[in-house]
Amino acid sequence: MADSGWVAYTVVINGKPQGPYQLAELKSLNIKSGTFIRKPGMNDYKEAHEFPELRELLGFKYQQTAPQYFASFDQRLLASVIDYFLILMFYVFALLLSFLVIQEKTMRISTAITMLPAIPAIKFIYGVFAESSKAQGTLGKKLLNIKVTDMWGNRIDLVTAFGRNAAKILSVLPFFFGYLYSFLNKKQQCFHDMAANTLVIKDRLI
């Protein structure tokens, strides 16, 4: 708390970012609990009640709010493409290593075909652990600043992440309709999101 007075806060006033302000200066502004504020090191604005020091200074109470900004279909698709590309690179590297000990052409082809099912398996396992981790998403999602949460924006647990990824079969069949359903859903949920009660959210737009 002693260092908070030296933090430079940016405050959104009448739709425009203003500042920087020190903590003590914020008390003279007409800040509401829902006023958007950002300080150095943050990638996104947060509401005033989400800052412990502002709750103490201004007497706000923390109010958990449901997410309002959801990742679009193209963002999710691009994230998945990035993930599959990285896994494919890993597959090719592993295949090349196997070719160092496999000299026969027929065996090399057989090995390449046999190892193909490992790609979706790795994607499934990686997705489960990445989405339940602190990052709340795979590297592809992280690069696009989107993440997987529960219906209130909280980190999901390992069981929920497993169920979400397992339920993707509902989104694939038939004809990927479960993915396309996100265009008809206000929260842009696919079938596997609805089955697991999860969201894919993005940063606020200010």
Query: How confident is the model over 141-178, as pLDDT tens digits?
Result: 999 999 999 998 899 999 999 999 999 998 988 888 89
SS3 56: helix
- Positive or negative, the CA dihedral 44, 131, 49, 55 is negative
For the question of whether the overall pTM of this predicted structure is more than 0.85, the answer is no
Query: How confident is the model over 83-131, as pLDDT tens digits?
Result: 999 999 999 999 999 999 988 999 999 999 999 999 999 999 999 999 9
| Average pLDDT along the chain | 90
Categorize the per-residue pLDDT at 79 as very low, low, confident or very high, splitting at 50, 70 and 90.
Answer: very high
Beta strands in 45-197 (DSSP E): 46-47, 146-150
* Neighbouring C-beta atoms of residue 138, cutoff 10 Å: 24
Q: How far apart are CA 76 and CA 138, in angstroms?
A: 11
Give the residue-averaged pLDDT of 51-58. Answer: 89
pLDDT (0 to 100) of residue 67: 82
